[in-house]
Structures are given as structure tokens and as C-alpha cells.
Amino acid sequence: MPRLSVWAVRLSLLYLLAGFTIGAFILVNKGVGAYPAAWRWFGAHQEFLLIGWMGQFAIGIGYWVFPRYRGNHRGNPAAAVLAIVLLNIGIALVFVSTFWGLPLSLWGRTFEAAAALSFVIYAWPRVKPTGA
């Protein structure tokens, strides 16, 4: 597995752990009712699991499994690295926006969309028919 995929999958597993921890905190609070402000964490819970875990995991595995060019190389990984960096910046901005109420959500979503576009730019030339 390429090093970039390893780091993307590891980061996605950290988001999985954080998202499940936040979800457990919210669920315990729902039963006990000791900390009503726990629902402020719900947006972070969603962001970490949907974008942080699943999105980052998809980028990492996609980088690994897309067909290689002739000569067994993956091309220039700069756009894939940029996708991972932009995705994590976007997740951080949406987290700050969700939890502290700062107006950064649009910027975070813009960074996440730019991350998706960056990975598409990287992967597009590697998508080819079988046997090509």
C-alpha cells in the first residue's frame, strides 16, 4: 500500500474514533440528561463520520486501487496530497463552525469541494477501460 494511502486511512480511522466517541457522549447524555449542551456536538459527530471517515477513506483507497500507468507508477501525487490537505482543512473549519458557532461553514465546505475536485483531477487520467 502506498504511503499516501496509509496516511489517509490512518487519518480516517482517527476520525472514526472521534466520531464514535462524540456519538457515545451524545447518546449517554440522551439517556442521563446531565449535559443538555451535548447536542452542540452533533454537527461535529456527523462531519467526522461522513466526511472525515468515509471521505478520507475513499480518497486513500482510491489512490491505492486505481489502475497504474505503464511502468507501474501512479503519476504525480501532488493533486492527491492536496486533496487530503484540503479535506482536513475543510473538516476543521466545519468543526469550528459547528461547535463554536463561527461563520466558517461555507469556507469549510468550499475546501471539501476543492478536495474532491483535486482528487478527480488526479484520478481522471488513471480511469481507463480494462486491458488498456
The CATH number covering residue 80 comes to: 1.20.120
Instruction: Report, in angstroms and rounded to the nearest whole number, the Rg of the chain calculated over CA atoms.
Output: 17
Tens-place pLDDT, residues 53-70: 999 999 999 999 887 777
Domain that holds residue 121: 3-126
How many CB atoms are located within 10 Å of the residue 72 CB?
6
As for how many domains the chain has, the answer is 1
Which residues, in sequence order, are CB contacts of 46 under 8 Å at separation 6+? Answer: none
Q: Are the beta carbons of 56 and 89 closer than 8 angstroms?
A: no
Q: 0.85 cut: is pTM over it?
A: yes
Residue 132 lies in a domain: no
Task: Please give the pLDDT value at position 132.
Answer: 60
